[in-house]
């Protein structure tokens, strides 16, 4: 049985709970505000990104370490964009 979209978002929100409050906020905000409208490639990349250790994610989000692929770089840009930088025109 496949999870419903709201069940999947709930599971993703749970996986966004990290050992660092800063990551919790960034990742949960992305799930709440952008994940559902993201392209399939970004959704898949986000699920894979959640497997990374906190220090690696933190380095990507702070720009201390580049993400290994252009797709992940693009996703990190989306995750770290402030709400005022919303590209969807809201």
pLDDT score recorded for residue 5: 79
Total domain count, the chain: 1
Q: Note whether residue 90 is domain-resident.
A: no
| pLDDT, tens digit, 9 for 90 and up, residues 16-73 | 998 899 999 999 999 999 999 999 999 999 999 999 999 999 999 999 999 999 999 9
CB 35 within 8 A of CB 43: yes
Q: Note whether residue 49 is domain-resident.
A: yes
Q: Note whether residue 58 is domain-resident.
A: yes
CB 8 within 8 A of CB 35: no
pLDDT score recorded for residue 85: 55
Q: Note whether residue 62 is domain-resident.
A: yes
Instruction: Specify the pTM.
Output: 0.83
Q: Note whether residue 72 is domain-resident.
A: yes
pLDDT score recorded for residue 86: 54
CATH number of the domain encompassing residue 24: 1.10.150.250
What range defines the domain where residue 75 resides?
5-83
Longest CA span, the chain:
41
């Amino acid at each position: 049985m496949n999870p419903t979209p709201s069940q999947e978002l709930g599971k993703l929100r749970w996986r966004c709970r990290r050992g660092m409050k800063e990551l919790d906020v960034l990742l949960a905000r992305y799930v709440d505000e952008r994940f559902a409208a993201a392209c399939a490639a970004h959704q898949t990349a986000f699920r894979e990104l959640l497997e990374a250790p906190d220090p690696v994610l933190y380095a990507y989000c702070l720009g201390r370490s580049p993400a290994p692929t252009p797709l992940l770089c693009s996703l990190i840009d989306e995750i770290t964009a402030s709400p005022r930088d919303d590209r969807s025109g809201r």
